[in-house]
Amino acid sequence: MDWHTILSFVFLILLGFAVTMYAILDGFDLGVGMLMPRATSEEQNSMVASIGPFWDANETWLVLVVGVLFIIFPAAHSLILGALYLPITFMLLAIMVRGVAFDFRVKARPQHQPFWNKAFQLCSAIMALTQGWMLGRYVTGFHQDTIAYLFSFGIMLSVPAVYVLLGATWLLPKTEGALQEKARHWANQAWYPVIACLLLVSLASPYVSQNVLHRWFSLPNLFWLMPIPLLTGLSLYRAKKLLISEHIKQQRSWQPFICTVIALIGSTLGLGISLFPYVVMDTLTVTQAAASTPTMVVTLIGVAITVPFILAYTAFAYWVFRGKVKELVYG
């Protein structure tokens, strides 16, 4: 195996890691935004306070994903962005409006504040839906047949459901009182569509791609890979068992969120295994899409410096702002 192949796989792993980090960290704050219409005005402020110190920095991982795709896999970058131009445009517009709405929902004139509050909530939903649609189209290799579009629609509904579950379980350890009880109720409600969507997507995937069918259902792959869906299922089952317990509000309130995160990691790992060795399903392999070896070497040096700083800052921010939320104050 030459250096070009080795570096290609290194950056593929980094790309998968960055996507997973983005899905977890930005996923829960988008989930909180989508849950806000179900809360009172005071509760909405507490919900925003729970994500306030993190939400903007979470999108650093999205920047890293696009950067690695553009520099290391330029052929895939061109193909993916060309096929997803419209949903990417909607997502970027939603990111910009959501960022403005985060401040304007309390800083604008009183008569305009409800508009910006709704904009924050709506843009959270738009981002989740567009990401789901883009993931579905990507997984199907941008095929134009009816099955591919139906599968993409299923993924589009799955992603917001997962984000809502993440958001609700995030609120459990961060809030108290009536809002915490509501968060437990929301998480219990979100659990069922998450399970339904994941089951439907898992059952449909082999019919969408022969590569997925061969990877997961041929022997001995079936036995080697079975622990991944089992871990995902057991994590979601454990989350449900915790959520139906009244004691979760006082003890082990972090555990449903951790279980949901483990399930999400299992899902993204399964997706990566399904796609490998393709960067674009059935079209471009990792080595075909990769840039030249000198480009990857230089980029690896930069990534080796940058990513540890991102991880350190992320860990520091979450440590500093641990515990229950306090009143949100805008400077």
Distances (CA, A) of 330 to 47, 104, 105, 112, 285: 14, 10, 11, 17, 48
pLDDT per residue as tens digits for the range 31-88: 999 999 888 888 888 888 888 777 777 888 888 888 888 899 988 888 888 889 999 9
DSSP output for 302-327: HHHHHHHHHHHHHHHHHHHT-SS---
Domain locations in the chain as residue ranges: 3-314
**Model confidence band, residue 114 (pLDDT cutoffs 50, 70, 90):** confident
Q: Please, is 151 exposed, middle or buried when counting C-beta atoms within 10 Å of its C-beta (0-12, 13-18, 19+)?
A: buried
**Model confidence band, residue 249 (pLDDT cutoffs 50, 70, 90):** low
Spell out the SS3 assignment of 128-197. Answer: HHHHHHHHHHHHCCCCCCHHHHHHHHHHHHHHHHHHHHHHHHHHHHHCCHHHHHHHHHHHHHHHHHHHHH
Q: Give the CA count within 13 Å in the CB-facing half-sphere of 221.
A: 11
Q: What's the pTM?
A: 0.92
CB 278, CB 286: distance < 8 Å = yes
**Does the structure show a pLDDT above 70 at 329?**
no
Q: Thinking of the domain 3-314, which architecture would CATH place it in?
A: Up-down Bundle (1.20)
**Residue 25 structure tokens:** 């960290």
pLDDT per residue as tens digits for the range 7-16: 999 999 999 9
pLDDT per residue as tens digits for the range 159-212: 999 999 999 999 988 888 888 889 999 999 999 988 888 887 777 777 777 777
